[in-house]
Amino acid sequence: MAFRIFCAQLYNVINSIVVNDKSVLAGSPQLGDLRFSQPQTGWYWIVEPIGEFNTPPLISTSLGSGKLPIASVDEVPFDIRYERFYTTVDSFNNEVEVAETEVVLDIQGHTARFQVAGNRDVLEADIDDFNRNLYLALAIFGFGGLSMNALAILFGLRPLDQARRSLEKIRGGESERLDGEFPTKSSRWPAEVNALIDSNRRIIERARMQVGNLAHSLKTPLAVLINEARVLEPPHGDLVKAQADAMQMQVQSYLNRARIAAQQRESVLARTEVEPVLERLVRVMRRLHPEKTFLLTVSLPGLILAMEQQDVEETVGNLLDNAARYASDQVHVTAQIAPEGVQGKDPGRRNWIAIEVDDDGPGLEPEQIGIAIKRGKRLDEKQAGHRPGIIDRQ
């Protein structure tokens, strides 16, 4: 309610009025507002005696000889603080807001009615101006607060962005550790991440060393088996020799892999350029299957796989050999950035590479595909080939 704004002025008038020794109202309220002294402004104060208290009323000079109608108590009753507020029209046709109360002034029981009135149009204009200033201040404060928070977040999270770039370099094989300057409060976790990387590197090196040791220890017994198989009567000798030769090839493969890993200890992840490997495989298949057409499409030059070259050759080579065996005329190999939604088990990783081997052969039924991709399973046991396994290397 607008008239509550000048309610404090009502108490100022009450505190300024007394009953003198002659039982007459006396006092001169100083409200600090010139409008209470300018005629017909709609800003008035009035002190009127009530009951048997017979004394002239005190009226502000702004009201002069004018009148200020009083609302009946039935229409506007007093509240629990014995105050009431209402709207009326003065003698000069100004719509005013009135704050009114009744006070006992002394021990003799002299009572007076106190009224303070303010021009409603001016009050509403003041309120509108106050609201505009308030909204402007809140808008400036809100925008300033948001800007400060945005700057604080931007600069506060810069170490995390730096850490993200360092991790991308580690994942891309460009760096070995989480490098950079970090705030004192966050200096612990980069050290923990580096310790985790070092621990993983040691685990990988130990596993590679154990595989290499195992392969090396099997090399001599396999050579003995091959020699002994030569003196066995066929077909048992041929079978033992074939299986021993296959085992020896696997042992030699892991020994070669261990030697390559030993030469690349400074890198956490293996890196293989896709296009040269695929070109070499396609070239070999063209010589092995001259009656078939082999096409190769690499969408972008310089595609890099986070796999060892031998793994890429074994995986894609098996698929190419199978496609060449069952294709009618053509085999098409494509390498491209995997589309969105086909990003492997970790969608947070970017730039997955999709290598597809497509042939125009009869294909497989859905249930056959489920069997073919299981480790150790083959659909055609009559022809030579590999038992494919799933290789998941990040």
Say what the pLDDT of residue 197 is. 79
Query: Considering only the top CATH level, what class is 272-372?
Result: alpha beta
| Residues 253, 310 contacting (CB under 8 angstroms) | yes
The Cα–Cα gap between 248 and 138 comes to 80
Say what the pLDDT of residue 339 is. 78
Residue 328 identity (one-letter amino acid): S
Q: What is the mean pLDDT of residues 382-390?
A: 43
Whether the per-residue pLDDT at 329 is higher than 70: the answer is yes
Quote the DSSP letter at residue 185.
G
pLDDT tens digits, 307-328 = 778 778 888 888 888 888 888 8
Whether the per-residue pLDDT at 392 is higher than 50: the answer is no
Residue 133 CB: number of other CB atoms within 10 A?
10
Q: What is the mean pLDDT of residues 340-369?
A: 73
Say what the pLDDT of residue 140 is. 93
Quote the DSSP letter at residue 162.
H
Q: Which residue has the higher pLDDT, 376 or 301?
A: 301
Whether the per-residue pLDDT at 35 is higher than 80: the answer is yes
Domain limits, the chain: 2-126, 199-263, 272-372
Say what the pLDDT of residue 389 is. 34
The Cα–Cα gap between 274 and 380 comes to 29
Say what the pLDDT of residue 180 is. 67
Q: What is the mean pLDDT of residues 65-88?
A: 88
pLDDT tens digits, 40-59 = 888 898 999 988 888 889 98
**Which of 367, 269, 355 shows the shortest CA–CA distance to 318?**
355
Q: What is the mean pLDDT of residues 115-119?
A: 89
| Residues 105, 113 contacting (CB under 8 angstroms) | no
Name the band, by pLDDT with cuts 50, 70 and 90, for residue 379: low
- The percentage of the chain sitting over the pLDDT mark of 90, rounded to a whole number, equals 9
Q: How far is residue 43 from each of residues 32, 34, 53, 99, measured CA to CA in Å?
A: 12, 9, 26, 12
| Residues 183, 162 contacting (CB under 8 angstroms) | no
Query: Following DSSP, what letter does each residue of 319-387 receive, concatenated?
Result: HHHHHHHH-SSEEEEEEEEPPTT--TT-TTS---EEEEEEESS----HHHHHHHTSTT--S-SSS----
| Lowest mean pLDDT across 122-136, 209-223, 296-310 | 209-223
Average pLDDT of the residues of the chain = 79
